[in-house]
Amino acid sequence: MSKRKQKPSRKSWIDVSSPLKAESVAGVYSATYSLEELAQRGAIKDEAFDSFKRVTKLANLSWRAMWTRGAVAKAGGREKFLRQARAVIIFIHGWDGSGAIWENLPAQVCAAENDCLVLAADVNGFGGSPFAHPERLTPDQCSPQANMRALEKWLSTLKLLGARREYPTVFVGHSMGGATLFYLNERLWSGRTVGRYAVAPALLLNDLTKKSFYRTLGAGIFAGNLLSLDKLQNQIAPFVINQLIAGASKAVQAEHKRIFKKTHKQTIARTFDAMGQAKKPSHRREWNRFRVILGHSDRLVGVSPMLDLLATLGFTSRQVRVALGDHYFFSVSKHSQPLHAANREIMLDDIRQLVAESVKG
């Protein structure tokens, strides 16, 4: 009786990537991934990719993964490193950004926590993660809540969530990405340890002026009543850049301009609108392993309204700190170096502490 021919085993997703790139931090390497490519190359099932697209309305999701050469060599390869990883640390950018806005902070974290897997994703219609049909997009589909659901679906697709191996996970989110962390699905993460670090979270519920501004601007852009596409690019882009990322490095400013030019107008509009009508997160007796850091001169996230909101949500003084700087108080430029370099060190320490707490459970 002839034996049935066995199908070749499916490759682990971490082995299906772009060529390795050396990061600016010594010993740290990265590779770029996308769900679309993983499906094409058989690392995930077509059904899993189709389910992701159906649930999230995204056409794809792209990210960079980072590790140290020494850790991968010690484990015996990327797949074994993934199986043995002590924790997964995920960086989430905000409006009109990409994973590149973090510059070398993820690589610094990777070097310091070299037995952890570090991911920097493109999310919410920006960068390598566009919506499939942006012309039909609604604010509910690109809100902070929807962004969190998409991230959870992505992690489930990669078997980093909801699989036999439970990875302690730490999310680091900036701006709209920071707001996203308030909407984690507690039931989905039940029994799993997760840390959250919200950096200048754009949760504008207590700031009625900014909330109204973003809703009105988003609706006007979408309807075409306030601005033509040319005016959007030539007038609003410089305004947003000057207001929100004036203290960021030239590289971060250039990345925002690049993303703005390549992103569908309706995605820009609807995400503006979504920032203005986010639903209030539920009050909790405890926000375990959740920390927030704000910039004292942030023009988007006002310190006083945000502190009032955090107090009403149940946060304590031990979980919140205010750093000197603007919305990009962690991006170091020649102008901002004296303040922002120290902030980056503070953030690195905070993230490492959250990793330790999450691993400990």
Domain limits of the chain? 19-360
DSSP 146-211: HHHHHHHHHHHHTTSSSSSS---EEEEEETHHHHHGGG--TTTTTTS-EEEEEES----TT-HHHH
Beta strands 169-174 and 88-92, pairing class: parallel
Q: Indicate the DSSP class of residue 295.
A: E
Question: Which SS3 state, helix, strand or coil, does residue 209 take?
Answer: helix
Q: Classify the C-alpha dihedral 15-171-356-353 as positive or negative.
A: positive
pLDDT by 10s per residue, the chain, length 361: 444 443 445 789 999 988 999 999 999 999 999 999 999 999 999 999 999 999 999 999 999 999 999 999 999 999 999 999 999 999 999 999 999 999 999 999 999 999 999 999 999 999 999 999 999 999 899 999 999 999 999 999 999 998 888 899 999 999 999 999 999 999 999 889 999 999 999 998 766 556 655 655 555 555 554 455 455 555 555 566 567 788 899 999 999 989 988 999 889 888 878 887 778 887 777 899 999 999 999 988 989 999 999 999 999 999 999 999 999 999 998 888 888 999 999 999 999 999 999 999 8
Closest of 205, 151, 196 to residue 286, by C-alpha? 196
Contacts of residue 263, Cβ cutoff 8 Å, sequence gap at least 6: 96, 125, 126, 130
**So what's the pLDDT on residue 212?**
57
Antiparallel, parallel or unpaired: β 169-174 and 117-121: unpaired
The values of phi and psi at residue 259, to 5°, are: -65, -40
- Is there a contact between 79 and 93 (Cβ–Cβ < 8 Å)? no
CATH H superfamily, domain 19-360: Alpha/Beta hydrolase fold, catalytic domain (3.40.50.1820)
Q: What is the pTM of this model?
A: 0.92
Rounded Cα gap, residues 242 and 221, in angstroms: 19
In Å, how far from its chain's centre is CA 303? 22
Cβ count near 305 (within 10 Å): 18
Answer yes or no: are the C-beta atoms of 309 and 178 closer than 8 Å. Answer: no
How far, in Å, CA of 143 to CA of 124, rounded? 8
The 3-state DSSP class for residue 313 equals helix
Q: Which two tokens stand for residue 315?
A: 């946060």
